[in-house]
Amino acid sequence: MTEKNLSTLDWRKTPDGLLPAVVQDARTARVLMLGYMNEESLRQTRQSGYVTFYSRSKKRLWRKGETSGNTLRLASVAVDCDGDAILVHAIPAGPTCHTGRRSCFDAEVLAPETLGELIETIRERSENGPAGSYTKRLLDRGIDAYGAKVLEESAEVVRAARHEGKTRTIEEAADVLYHLFVLLRGENIELGEVAEELRRRRRGDGEPDTPSAGAN
């Protein structure tokens, strides 16, 4: 778990000592819910590893999922620039919203969230997928199977861009991303590790740096 600037939190900014805490899915980047924390609830969150709020209706500390079992396992905590709001990255067990939905926010799922959910689905298939699952079959067959699909789909997206128009290019690009994420899962590579490499390559002007030595 990483922690950023927790000492800058100013609990005195509100009369009741409560600060808003936005919870974001650490795996998919989807915003899950908004709760409120005081110093004690944040302490218990860090100590237990499970997100704990202060319930304004119950007037007590409340660990998310204490009744439903739909807990939020803590991944990291960050603080905003003014020290009066908290960002919690967590891994949900089951739906977060009391209505049974994954998120309390009924909002359009954005591109990063969509990719995150695809990666999470691939992870779930790799661990618990039925024998007939295409994803699980690819992973079970190893690099020869999913590696060949990445090569095949990469060629198809270029062909679509050249000759088949925008719609087909979008469809083939989706195939490339899916099979690439399967390859990463099969090789035990987290997307965060790829993102770290991209950050490493960035120059001060924000432009991507030179590709890896193996690229032509």
pLDDT digits (tens, 9 = 90+) for 174-205: 999 999 999 999 999 998 899 889 888 886 55
Q: What is the pLDDT confidence band of residue 35, given thresholds at 50, 70 and 90?
A: very high
H-helix or E-strand containing 198?
Answer: helix 191-201
Closest CA to 29 of 123, 115, 122, 121: 115
Q: What average pLDDT does range 149-162 have in this prediction? A: 97
Residue 37 has pLDDT above 60, yes or no: yes
Domains 2-92 and 111-201 fall in the same CATH topology: no
Reported CATH class of domain 2-92: alpha beta
H-helix or E-strand containing 118?
Answer: helix 111-128
Residue 214 has pLDDT above 70, yes or no: no
What pLDDT shows up at residue 203? 61
Each domain of the chain, given as residue ranges in start order, spans 2-92, 111-201
73: amino acid identity, one letter:
R
Dihedral of the alpha carbons of 28, 48, 86, 62, in degrees to the nearest 10: 100
Phi, psi of 22 (to 5 degrees): -90, 130
User: For residues 46 and 89, what is the distance between their CA atoms, to the nearest angstrom?
Assistant: 12
Residue 210, SS3 per DSSP: coil
Closest CA to 26 of 95, 118, 113: 113
pLDDT digits (tens, 9 = 90+) for 94-121: 999 989 988 998 766 667 778 888 998 9
Topology, domain 111-201: Helix Hairpins (1.10.287)
Q: What is the pLDDT confidence band of residue 48, given thresholds at 50, 70 and 90?
A: very high
What pLDDT shows up at residue 215? 54
Which residue, chain included where needed, has tokens 């409560």?
A: 18
Work out the number of other CB atoms within 10 angstroms of the CB of residue 90.
Answer: 25
